[in-house]
Amino acid sequence: MASERQANTARDLFSSDLVKQGAHAIGVEPGKDHGHPGFVVVAYVPPTHAAKFPTKLALPTEHGGGDVSLVMQSAQPFTPQ
């Protein structure tokens, strides 16, 4: 079970990799909304996105260690009007 601090650290460490894989937004949310305990990192991808993401992000020991669950959520990218 990841704490909010661990989830934010994982987002900071892995966000550039997730963007390279197609995520257009990355957030930290309570895990209960996604069927997980604690907090999770949520990668928002376009509905047609086909790449696979890992289910967990492993924090290095110097950042507290442990795994943070990663959830993919399909959503259209924000477009300014």
The structure's pTM equals 0.89
pLDDT in tens, the chain (81 residues): 899 999 999 999 999 999 999 999 999 999 999 999 999 999 999 988 887 899 999 998 887 789 999 999 988 887 777
* DSSP letters spanning the chain: -B-HHHHHHHHHHHHHHHHHTT-SEEEEEEGGGGT-SBEEEEEEE-TT------SEEEPPGGGT--EEEEEEEE-PPP---
